[in-house]
Amino acid sequence: MADRLRAEYAAAFPADGPITAAHHANLPYATTVWHETLRKYPPAPITAQRVLAEDLTLPSDGSVLPAGTAISIPVYLVHHNPTVYPAPDTFDPARWLAAPGAPRRGEGRGADPAALLPFTMGPHTCPGQRASGVEWTVVLGALLLRYDLQAVGGDVELEARTTLRPAGLRVRLRCRGP
């Protein structure tokens, strides 16, 4: 995966000069890695609580949630649901690529565009969603083109606080040359 990302970044980024947000559009594989990272490790494992302004009928079984009910979406559980994402514990950026000749569903976001919720959706979506995607891909590219990255230690435990984050993640960087 790192070699494929490096090749894509090397082709998309200028040999000299600044890396800008405009280069982001030429990084389709990096975008799939970004989506898969957000799916497997959503920064907010559960959405903020909201109160229903009116009755809500669930399409799954017709149950009615009355107005005034407080609800939250368990993003981590949706992102790890095998009905929505086959083999949910496997890190697989290819799940975000459309099959050759097939239309991209939900901008390539799996079976249902509502199933990728790291920033929520609709009128309450995070205003920094687009900026974070550009920043993530540009920073990752700059790192991969300059360094080899190697995880140090075993599996990383996750801490769920306000955000989901690694507990004790250690990475070794080795310079790739001038």
Q: What is the dihedral of CA 154, 158, 159, 164, to 10 degrees?
A: 140
User: Looking at the domain covering 2-45+74-175, what would its CATH class be?
Assistant: mainly alpha
Long-range CB contacts for residues 92-101, cutoff 8 Å, separation at least 24: 92/36, 93/1, 93/29, 93/32, 93/33, 93/35, 93/36, 94/32, 95/32, 95/36, 96/31, 96/32, 96/35, 96/36, 97/32
Query: 173 pLDDT exceeds 90?
Result: yes
Rounded to an integer, the average pLDDT of 149-158 is 85
The pLDDT value recorded for residue 138 is: 85
Axis-axis angle for helices 2-12, 129-146 (nearest 10): 100
Confidence (pTM) = 0.82
The pLDDT value recorded for residue 113 is: 59
Given pLDDT bands bounded at 50, 70 and 90, which one contains residue 7?
very high
Query: 129 pLDDT exceeds 70?
Result: yes
Terminal CA-CA length for the chain = 23
> pLDDT by residue (tens digit) across 100-124?
555 444 444 454 657 888 888 778 7
Q: What is the secondary structure of 15-83 as a DSSP string?
A: SSS---GGGGGG-HHHHHHHHHHHHHS-SSSSPPPEE-SS-EE-TTT--EEPTT-EE---HHHHHT-TT
Boundaries of every domain in the chain: 2-45+74-175
